[in-house]
Copies of this chain bind each other. A is one copy, B any other.
Amino acid sequence: MAATSTNVSAITDLMNRFYDINALRSALASFEWDQQVLMPQGGASARAEHIGILSRMEHDLVTDDTTRTLIERAAGAAETDDERALVRITKREYDIATKIPTSLVAEKSRLGAIAHESWVKARANNDYKSFAPQLKRMFEIVKEEADALGWKNHPYDALTDQYEEGATHADWTRMFEGLKSKQIELVRRIAEKPTIDDSAFYGNWDLNAQRKFGNMLVQAIGFDMDRGRQDEAAHPFCSGWSVGDVRLTTRYKDYLPSGIFGSLHEAGHGMYEQGSPMAWDRSPLAGGVSLGIHESQSRTWENIVGRSRGFWKFFGPKLRETFPGLKLSGEEFYRAINKVEPSFIRVEADEVTYNLHVLVRFEIESEMLTGKLTVEDLPEAWNAKYTEYLGITPKTYSEGCLQDVHWSMGSIGYFPTYTMGNLLSYQIWNVLEKDLGDTASMIESGNFKPILNWLQEKVYSQGKKYPPKELVMRVTGKPVGAEDYLEGLTKKYTEIYSL
């Protein structure tokens, strides 16, 4: 059936509506990026007001009755796959935004500000008790949010769906069940082996040399600097406000691998964002489809490519030339960048222990939401899990359950997407390797193009067109699971640690 002009107009009208919404979101993203990267301290209070006002405008536009009408009209007019995707994505956004009462959003925002301040003090003073009342209230509010969004089997379903469309508590439970015992076992076996000495990585490394080296790497793997930038921020992230303008941020430390693998990680996110078709630019179809799939791409370039032997066979000479003070090379270097060591701090965890940090949080969040665990018993539960899964026990609240900022903000339900990313990176890589053959040789010769092109075609160019579960099926032929990851990790670390 040929497209009628009414149908065309219904689609165009909806698209235009979301171009307007996108302009406000881009302004917000730009303001938030600037705040982390450039803003002088004197700009903070006005910036908060500007962000508050533009957020309200954006929310008003998304939840407006006109938007609902435009979606309904477009739903009746959609004829192509892209048009149906547009309707699906915008309807989902409208539904999520309208289901949560404005009063609840406001209360969460107010409590978030108070709880954040309380958390900062609590962590500094190792004083869980002073933070507990706010945390308790935050979990109540988040539960109300879940109820407003609607759920059948577990309140977690409603919350996690906001970060990973379609994911449920049952999905995450299955994912961790396939992983848990073997991951704990792997960590335990490694912990029995002699520790790897990576002290050579600590030094007073020249900042400019680190910047140049990190940027050389992100360009070498394929991040396009004509359509992006790399700057610095205390808490590194990837942002962007169009397919042709993607911003990486990195933090360089006296621990040399920090800036190197941080650059590769954010470039993985960045290349995914740069990979959407230009025709979709500014539309709801452009960009990475979910947190879990986004993380799979950052982990692919950081860990599978970046922490491989071949990668440093190629870049090692350049690294030693840039940092002559670094007294590590060859096999020693490879072992040092893959050192595994249970620690209390998630954000600094290696790729083997990382998922166990996530597991602790997932289990605690789940039980808090159903009332199985109380805020009073949380610290004890936290410590017990660290002891059981990682073999170490926090000595303070601050290095225990007070470490993450997210609960104070009410961000419940997104931690499992990190583990999904880790698992999926290996799962996708196995398909890629079947298609491309000897990827090790490609990496060893600095030839990343075939790898990028494959990911570009299978993942990046798909933007948000398919729901994440469908995209995973299309690319790998199965749902996210732990097998490929466990197999890859076991092989790699059996060799490194002579297990």
A282 at interface by CB-CB < 8 Å:
yes
Tell me the complex Cα distance, A430–B225, Å. 51
Complex: chain B residue closest to A44, CB-CB: B244
Contacts of A225 in B (CB 8 A): 40
Contacts of A245 in B (CB 8 A): 39-40, 42-43, 46-47
A243 at interface by CB-CB < 8 Å:
yes
Contacts of A243 in B (CB 8 A): 42, 46
Interface of A is mostly: helix
Complex: chain B residue closest to A244, CB-CB: B42
B-contacting 9-mer, from A2-10, A226-234, A341-349:
A226-234
Report A271-293 CB contacts with B as 1/0, cut-off 8 Å. 00000000001100000000000
Contacts of A227 in B (CB 8 A): 40-43
**Interface pair B229/A49, CB less than 8 Å apart:** no
B-contacting 9-mer, from A18-26, A150-158, A183-191:
A18-26
CB of A35 to closest CB in B, whole Å: 10
A45 at interface by CB-CB < 8 Å:
yes
Count of interface residues, chain A, beta-carbon cutoff 8 Å: 38
Q: Which residues of A16-63 are within 8 A (CB) of B?
A: 19-20, 22-24, 26-27, 30-31, 34, 38-47, 49-50, 53-54, 57
**Interface pair B228/A19, CB less than 8 Å apart:** no
Identical copies of this chain, number: 2
Contacts of A22 in B (CB 8 A): 50
Contacts of A19 in B (CB 8 A): 49, 53
Complex: chain B residue closest to A20, CB-CB: B53
Complex: chain B residue closest to A53, CB-CB: B23
A224 at interface by CB-CB < 8 Å:
yes
A418 at interface by CB-CB < 8 Å:
no
**Interface pair B23/A244, CB less than 8 Å apart:** no
Contacting A54 at CB < 8 Å: which of B27, B47, B224, B226?
B27
**Interface pair B242/A40, CB less than 8 Å apart:** no
A334 at interface by CB-CB < 8 Å:
no
Contacting A226 at CB < 8 Å: which of B23, B26, B40, B53?
B40
CB of A15 to closest CB in B, whole Å: 12
Contacts of A44 in B (CB 8 A): 244
**Interface pair A57/B244, CB less than 8 Å apart:** no
CB of A50 to closest CB in B, whole Å: 5
**Interface pair B281/A46, CB less than 8 Å apart:** yes
CB within 8 Å for A226 and B42 given contacts A30-B30, A30-B34: yes
* 10 nearest A-B residue pairs (beta carbon): A43-B245, A42-B244, A42-B227, A46-B242, A27-B27, A23-B53, A23-B50, A43-B244, A42-B226, A26-B50
A-B contact pairs, 23 of them (CB 8 A): A20-B57, A23-B49, A23-B50, A24-B57, A26-B46, A26-B50, A27-B54, A30-B34, A38-B229, A39-B245, A40-B225, A40-B227, A40-B229, A41-B227, A42-B224, A42-B243, A43-B227, A43-B242, A43-B245, A46-B241, A46-B281, A50-B242, A57-B57
A19-B53, A40-B227 are known contacts; what are 10 more A-B pairs with Cβ within 8 Å?
Answer: A23-B49, A23-B54, A27-B27, A40-B226, A42-B228, A42-B244, A46-B242, A46-B281, A50-B242, A57-B57
